[in-house]
Amino acid sequence: MTSATVQPSLAPKASSDDIPWNPKVRQQRTVSDWITDIVIWVILALVVVAIIYPLWFVIIASVSNQGAVNQGRVTFWPVGFSLGGYEKVFSDGRIWTGYLNTIIYSVVGTALNMIVTIPVAFALSRREFKPRRVILFLFTFTMFFAGGLIPNYLLFKQLGLLDNWLVFILPTAVSVWNVIIARSFFETSIPEDLHDASQIDGLGYWGYFLRIVLPLSSAIIAVLALYYFVGHWNDFFTGLVYIRDSDKLPLQNVLRSILLANQTGMTGQSSGGMDLLQQREFANQIKYGVIIVSTLPLLVLYPFLQKYFNKGVMIGAVKG
């Protein structure tokens, strides 16, 4: 028997460039790759520390001895643990009324904002709506020119909104900036083919808006709702100017009243058996406690809506 002769393959060997890339195969990393990663992680760590540390300092300062805070001995952990500031804040019965008022104003106001903003933005996004450019110009005009405080006060007085809880809701029923954002979302993120298909199925504009557009707009709805809610929650000026009844004041104004009641720098008087220095330090502790009490609900709310912010970043972006 003759042994078979193995002929060498004449086909050219595949180069590394011809091999399809497999994401499961980990590529060999060079020294420059490691250095780049280290630099990026260091920068990210510094950014995180710069954002988180001020909040952490306010938290530990609110439960620390204010003498230690003023001396700079409070850095990462509380010194002289004390809850006196929080006890003073929550012992005031107005705090609960203010919380309830703010929750009502924020929830009802945000609901009205969304009911007005989303339909208006959808109407302005439709190209077949001929007056949309004129209406958008009139909306935008109000962003640059306003009547001012005194005309607004006289207008609200004639409308019966002074000392009325509706003053927190009706004048801010729509934000032009949020209308523009929602309009851009509808124009760039909702395919026009869906409208054509809905017309073939016999849907009118309201059916198309309620059954197709709204379910596809959860990202922009969540983002705008949070913007409106934060605006109502932090509203301080409205209660300061237009409200005189203490039972209708929101949380921010109540916390301001509590803080001013414990400030002694302007009066120079002492009370409660404390000297001037002790009462001033106690007022500083209340100040830190007020910051935590007013911002804690929003800090709890933000993580649940973070995913919608990630989607909202892509509003108006090119999609392939």
Chain position carrying tokens 């120079």? 268
* Phi, psi angles (nearest 5°) of residue 202: 90, 15
Instruction: Please tell me which residue, 103 or 301, carries the higher pLDDT value.
Output: 103
Number of H helices, E strands in the chain: 13, 0
The whole-number average pLDDT for the span 232-261 is 86
Cα dihedral 27, 28, 33, 34 in deg (nearest 10): 120
How far apart (Å, rounded) are the C-alpha atoms in residues 57 and 288?
A: 9
Q: Tell me which H or E stretch contains 34.
A: helix 31-62
Q: CA-based diameter of the chain, in Å?
A: 119
Spatial separation of the C-alpha atoms in residues 120 and 94, rounded to whole Å: 38
Q: How confident is the model at residue 279 (pLDDT cuts 50, 70, 90)?
A: low
Task: Tell me how far CA of residue 252 lies from CA of 3, 55, 162, 230, in angstroms.
Answer: 96, 18, 18, 12
Structure tokens at 42: 């260091």
Segment 213-224 mean pLDDT: 87
The predicted model gives 228-234 an average pLDDT of: 90
pLDDT at 215 over 70: yes
Tokens of 47: 């950014």
Mean pLDDT (whole number) for 25-32: 72
All domains in the chain, ordered by first residue: 2-62 (no CATH), 88-318 (1.10.3720.10)
269, two tokens: 């008087």
The continuous run of DSSP H or E covering 207 comes out as helix 205-208
Rg, C-alpha atoms of the chain: 30
pLDDT value at 307 more than 50: yes
User: What is the tens place of the pLDDT at every residue in 41-96?
Assistant: 999 999 999 988 888 888 888 888 777 777 778 888 888 787 777 777 777 778 88
pLDDT for residue 38: 92
Question: What's the pLDDT at 117?
Answer: 93
> What was the pLDDT predicted at 119?
92
Mean pLDDT score of the chain, rounded to an integer? 80
| Span 152-191, pLDDT tens digits | 899 999 999 888 999 999 998 998 999 998 998 888 888 8
Distance, CA of 164 to CA of 158 (rounded, Å): 12
CA-based end-to-end distance of the chain:
64
pLDDT of residue 310: 58
Q: What is the pLDDT of residues 97-147, one digit of tens each?
A: 888 999 999 999 999 999 999 999 999 988 888 898 899 899 889 888 887
**Residue 263 is inside which H or E element, if any?**
none
Q: What is the pLDDT of residue 188?
A: 86
Q: Structure tokens of 134?
A: 């004129």
Regarding pTM above 0.85, the answer is no
- Cα–Cα dist 204/206, whole Å: 6
